[in-house]
Structure 1
Amino acid sequence: MDGKTTVSRGTIVFDLDGTLVDSVPDLAGALDTLMSEKGLAPIGVDTTRRLIGHGIPNLVRGALAERGVEWEDGAGADAVRRFTEIYGARVSLETRPYRDVARVLQELAADGWQMAVCTNKMERFARAIVGDLDLGHFFAVVAGPDTFKVGKPDPRHLTETAKAAGGREPIIFVGDSEVDIATGKAAGVPVIALTYGYTRTPLDGLGADRLIDAFADLPDAIASVLAAR
Structure 2
Amino acid sequence: MSDCFQGAGIAFDLDGTLVDTAPDLVRALNAVVAEDGLQGVALADVRIMVGRGARVLIERAYSAQDRRLDPDIVDTKVQRFIDVYKAGIANLSSPFPRCIETLDFLAGKGARLSVCTNKPSVLADALLDALGMTHRFERVIGPDRTSAKKPDAAHFWSAVGDAGPNLALIGDSITDSACAKAAGIPCVILTHGYSEIPHQALGADAVLDSFESLPDKLAELWQGRS
TM-score by length of 1: 0.90
Aligned residues of 1:171 and 1:190 also touching (Cα < 8 A): yes
Aligned residues of 1:100 and 1:215 also touching (Cα < 8 A): yes
Which residue is 1:173 aligned to?
A: 169
Which residue is 1:129 aligned to?
A: 127
Which residue is 1:29 aligned to?
A: 27
The residue identity in structure 2 corresponding to 1:187 is A
How far off is 1:39 after superposition? 1.4
How far off is 1:66 after superposition? 2.6
The residue identity in structure 1 corresponding to 2:86 is G
Aligned residues of 1:56 and 1:121 also touching (Cα < 8 A): no
Pairs within 5 Å for 1:15-164: 15-70=13-68, 72-148=70-146, 150-163=148-161
How far off is 1:71 after superposition? 5.1
Distance 1:121 1:210 in 2: 24
Distance 1:128 1:55 in 2: 17
* Structure 1 residue runs without a partner (length 5+): 1-6
The residue identity in structure 1 corresponding to 2:122 is R
Aligned residues of 2:8 and 2:165 also touching (Cα < 8 A): yes
Distance 2:108 2:72 in 1: 49
Distance 2:147 2:90 in 1: 24
How far off is 1:70 after superposition? 4.5
Distance 1:149 1:77 in 2: 23
TM-score by length of 2: 0.91
How far off is 1:149 after superposition? 5.3
The residue identity in structure 2 corresponding to 1:115 is L
How far off is 1:50 after superposition? 1.6
Which residue is 2:182 aligned to?
A: 186
* Structure 2 residue runs without a partner (length 5+): none
